[in-house]
Structure 1
Amino acid sequence: METLGALARKTLVRHGEKPAVKDSRGTITYAQLKTNVCQLAHALMNEGLTKGDRVAILMSNRREHVELDIAIALTGLIKVPINYRLHPKEFDYIVESSGSSLLIGEANLLENVSVPVKKLDVDKEYDLFISGHSDEFPNIEVGEDDLFALMYTSGTTGKPKGGMLTHRNMISGAISLNMVCEITYDDIIGHVAPLTHGSNFLSQCALFFGLKQVIFNKFDPKEFIDDLEREKISVIFLVPTLVNLMIHEENFDPHKLRYIKSINMAGAPMAVEKLNKALSLLGPKLAETYGLVEAPLTITMMPKEELAKKPDSCGAIGPFVEVRVVDENGNEVPYGEIGEVTCKGSLVMKGYWDNEKATNETLKDGWLYTGDLGWIDEKGYLRLVDRAKDMIITGGLNVYPREVEEVLNQHPDVKETCVFGVPDEKWGESIYAHVVLSDETQQVNEEELIELCKNNLASYKKPRKIEIVKELPKNSYGKILRKALRDQYQLQG
């Protein structure tokens, strides 16, 4: 297996005047991309950075993400991508934790970083920083097991941890993603999800084929649908929340998505009822993958042709990983039995940066313990049940929040829902739910929703309380923060 830099070199040389990257400032060709990348690589080395040094990146979606990826890959540096939607305290933590020598980003974000680190303003200083340097590829030996990135977890269960991803990890994920999205030489790749994380793997796929990438800087459902049509985007990465927002846009016109061949959904499972609605509107355009920072994107893969047949599954086991479902003692459980999902293979990280304790808790005998509960059928398809830490125990009985959410999502007026456990002196935990309606003017009440649960679930699984709210708390990647709602009620109690 090669390195990202070696793959990029071939593409940059081969495709010359073909359009490479478009953002709000215009389009550059592969020839221009090669010049920028080589100059950037030499500028970084001229700054005194050497193989293994960390470069933190803090900016919204823009062309420089692609240039930095390739330059860092060519020089053996390690990138530390930071989601610009995080809190400034998280900026500081990640920069300091990673020991980054240089922070490249936009001025309005850089000013929020207070820890001591050399900063480069991508708008005012970047062009000058790279100008005058050689436009030839640097001659630095980089191996497939060298680190390429420290990808920090979302921090929903504590301080973010830096997953150490190698060139082998990244290429394994990109090849798998390429397979499930069925990418070919004719495709145009779109980016609206953060290029700091999931969408970055589609960027690597673009480099396999020399494809044009179009980078969007914001997501407004109506405008974005028009953007997809105008740019003739055929492949894009979206979290389920964004798909849901698009199909609920007023006067949604599926014809505007006619150029779309594949929408890769990842980040969190989409409720079956919502998924079926999306499929009915979009047709077979949705593919699904399941992964973590620690084993990015493609532990399992569900091609678009299969998703409608198995909407409750997140796919079959990917090509660069083995998967087992185990009990609390680490023993593999039979098909159909719920346990913790574990995996190993070339997709799995080396460990957590400067955190041996967390590494040893998560990686055991070569297996990554994901913290996700699920079960596998005889054909190797995985069904996720919930995060192990999200399971509710009421009266000594286990309740998986997703099971209750699937029932609530059957209601035609329910847009989103989150089910969680609240401390209860008698039962240990009570089941609560927050629900967002598709239209706030709808007359849907708590009793109606509880009755829906009563008619579809065992009595002990129905929520004790359901609150209709305007929105659910989400992190910067669009994932619903179940813990935030739990904590809210614990504080009230």
Structure 2
Amino acid sequence: MSHPIHALYANLSARADRPALSDGDTVVTHGELIALVERAAADLAARGLGPRDRIGLCAANSWRHVVAYLAILRAGAVWTPLNPRNGPSLNGEFQRRAGLSLTLHDAASVGSLGSTARPLPLEAWLDGLADGVPPPIHDDPAAPFALKFTGGSTGVPKGVVQSQASGAAALASLSAFYDFTADDVNLAVAPLTHGSSHYILPVLAAGGAHVLLPTPDRAAILSELKSRVSVTFLPPTLIALLMAEADFAPADFPRLRHVTYSAAPMSPARIEQAIARFGPVLSTLYGQTEAPMTVTGLSPAEMTDPALRASVGRLFPGTPVAVLTASGVAGHGEGEVLVGGDLARTEYLDAPELTAASRHEGWLKTGDLGRLDKDGLLTLIGRSKDLIITGGYNVYPAEVEAALTAHPAVREACAFALPDEVWGERLEAAVAVDAPFADDAALKAFVRDAIGPVRTPKRLHLMPALPRNPVGKVVRGDVRDLLYPVDPQPLEALR
């Protein structure tokens, strides 16, 4: 049984009458959910859709979104998530590149779809389902399970085809990391078009439930966290906004056991603050679209150790990780992070040359640089493509950003390079601060003391917030272009 959808049916008799989805006043039990999913999957099959057909899904978080997602998987088709926040131009381009057979969407996302060959409104579709028998589950570890587009933080978004084996590996690792039970309630507020979707099946398989929020309303999030929620997955920026929203303490969250962040780092000061405010429940996961969610993880218990917080956690048992050092592949040391096993059974859409270039002796090259110790603890130090050579020295923006965010007044930072006649590349950084600085000299001195003068930016740009792309990522080139709209000389010309 290779297809992750089998998890939907695990131990069903014991949980059929338990709540599975809660969306405002709508509550769907596990039994009702499976019945809906099967009717929807049967309808997709009746429309001629099945294995290897790509079906888009563009919608805010809702019970309908979850049903549609599961129905696509149950029909054996390839789930292709489209974030409504992308806007019509980008979503239209993604649909064209994906060659979608159908695009499901909610009413609120019509304006975000862009050019769509075969749209189908979720509301009318699910409300009009007839009885039907879904096709047999198509088990093939190598078969495509999902098609996702990368966040584009380093350039044009790439389409990544994830296999059934990859999806099953992520599911197994998440189940082990969280040890979900029937008492767990997951708050799905991060978009289900991204990492939050990975929680749907493992929570349901354990008999737990999902609370769906369509928007990151801070008051609603805090209300849910204080009442029934035990697990939630949030970006670091939203965790910071929640802490600024209201006064609360660990005693306010009687059921909470995991507040997990991913996709971006969190500064040591912010981690300390989050643990003090939410309790010892903070955890983190490291993954990427090409190796989704579960390359490494740091549990709440481990996060309480300040010595471990700079890392992205320990390896999952079923996913081999190594580093590509100057002397070759090694089980520990410093170099480009490599991922193996089923989790990395992915490929780039219509780009065999990119897929081949991303592999080394069968390993997936993540593009991340890291230090892997003998105990399986991984610390990221930068991106291989982000290398800045200034004055003949190699500098990775991530280490500069880590030094800046270690300052208690800094929320986040983005280091970048500009052409420079003297230095070759001049290191600068945009910094989002909680309090204004009359003079940035003190902040520069703080960084210089931490990592030395070579890695200290020549100029700091103090800002209230950093710009983000539609999926919420800070894009280095966009930050540089905002501060320097006219580049006198292409940066690549100096490389």
The TM-score range, normalised by the shorter chain, is: over 0.9
Q: Once structures 1 and 2 are overlaid, which stretch shifts more, 297-306 or 174-183?
A: 174-183
Identity of aligned residues (%): 32
Distance verdict in 2 for CA 1:70–1:123, change over 3 Å: closer
Report the AA paired with residue 93 of structure 2.
Y
Specify the SS of the correspondent of 1:76.
coil
Aligned partner (choices 156, 161, 170) of residue 153 of structure 2: 156
Distance verdict in 2 for CA 1:108–1:278, change over 3 Å: closer
- After TM superposition, the structure 1 = structure 2 runs for residues 73-222 of structure 1, keeping only pairs within 5 Å, are 73-128=73-128, 130=129, 132-134=130-132, 136-222=133-219
1:250 CA displacement: 4.1
Specify the SS of the correspondent of 2:113.
coil
- Structure 2, unaligned runs of 5 or more: 489-495
Aligned equivalents of 1:194, 1:486: Cα separation in 2? 27
1:299 corresponds to 2:289? no
Distance verdict in 2 for CA 1:277–1:113, change over 3 Å: closer
Report the AA paired with residue 210 of structure 2.
Q
- After TM superposition, the structure 1 = structure 2 runs for residues 322-361 of structure 1, keeping only pairs within 5 Å, are 322-327=320-325, 331-332=328-329, 335-336=332-333, 338-361=334-357
Report the AA paired with residue 278 of structure 1.
A
- TM-score normalised by the chain length of structure 2: 0.92
- Structure 1, unaligned runs of 5 or more: none
What residue number does 2:258 align with? Answer: 262
What residue number does 1:251 align with? Answer: 247
1:187-224: CA deviations, max 9, x gaps? 11111111112111111211221211111111133432
Aligned equivalents of 2:254, 2:443: Cα separation in 1? 36
1:358 CA displacement: 1.4
Report the AA paired with residue 32 of structure 1.
E
What residue number does 1:471 align with? Answer: 465
Aligned residues: 485
1:119 CA displacement: 0.6
What residue number does 2:316 align with? Answer: 318
What residue number does 2:443 align with? Answer: 449
Is the 2:64–2:123 contact (alpha carbons within 8 Å) kept by the matching residues of 1?
A: no
1:491 corresponds to 2:486? yes
Aligned equivalents of 1:125, 1:67: Cα separation in 2? 11
Specify the SS of the correspondent of 2:422.
coil
1:458 corresponds to 2:452? yes
Moved over 6 A (4+): none
Distance verdict in 2 for CA 1:432–1:95, change over 3 Å: same
1:143-194: CA deviations, max 9, x gaps? 3332211121112333322211122211211221222223222211111111
Is the 1:76–1:146 contact (alpha carbons within 8 Å) kept by the matching residues of 2?
A: no
1:433-487: CA deviations, max 9, x gaps? 2122224xx4453222112223333112111111111210123343222221234
Q: Once structures 1 and 2 are overlaid, which stretch shifts more, 198-207 or 161-170?
A: 161-170
1:116 CA displacement: 4.5
- After TM superposition, the structure 1 = structure 2 runs for residues 367-446 of structure 1, keeping only pairs within 5 Å, are 367-439=363-435, 442-446=436-440
Is the 1:12–1:33 contact (alpha carbons within 8 Å) kept by the matching residues of 2?
A: no
What residue number does 1:69 align with? Answer: 69
Report the AA paired with residue 478 of structure 2.
A
1:40-70: CA deviations, max 9, x gaps? 0111111121321111000111112321232
Specify the SS of the correspondent of 1:312.
coil
Is the 2:236–2:265 contact (alpha carbons within 8 Å) kept by the matching residues of 1?
A: yes
Q: Once structures 1 and 2 are overlaid, which stretch shifts more, 360-369 or 97-106?
A: 360-369
For the aligned residues, what is the CA RMSD? 2.1
1:302-337: CA deviations, max 9, x gaps? 111112221111111112211111136x8125844x
Distance verdict in 2 for CA 1:207–1:168, change over 3 Å: farther
Distance verdict in 2 for CA 1:395–1:443, change over 3 Å: closer
What residue number does 2:492 align with? Answer: none
Specify the SS of the correspondent of 2:151.
coil
Is the 2:405–2:411 contact (alpha carbons within 8 Å) kept by the matching residues of 1?
A: yes
Aligned equivalents of 1:11, 1:476: Cα separation in 2? 39
Distance verdict in 2 for CA 1:97–1:306, change over 3 Å: same
Aligned equivalents of 1:475, 1:255: Cα separation in 2? 36
Aligned equivalents of 2:154, 2:456: Cα separation in 1? 26
1:287 corresponds to 2:283? yes
Specify the SS of the correspondent of 2:223.
helix
Is the 1:163–1:349 contact (alpha carbons within 8 Å) kept by the matching residues of 2?
A: no
1:491 CA displacement: 2.9
What residue number does 1:277 align with? Answer: 273
Is the 1:75–1:142 contact (alpha carbons within 8 Å) kept by the matching residues of 2?
A: no
Distance verdict in 2 for CA 1:487–1:332, change over 3 Å: farther
Aligned equivalents of 2:331, 2:452: Cα separation in 1? 25
Aligned equivalents of 1:159, 1:400: Cα separation in 2? 21
Q: Once structures 1 and 2 are overlaid, which stretch shifts more, 27-36 or 404-413?
A: 404-413
Aligned equivalents of 2:317, 2:472: Cα separation in 1? 27
Distance verdict in 2 for CA 1:367–1:333, change over 3 Å: closer
- TM-score normalised by the chain length of structure 1: 0.92
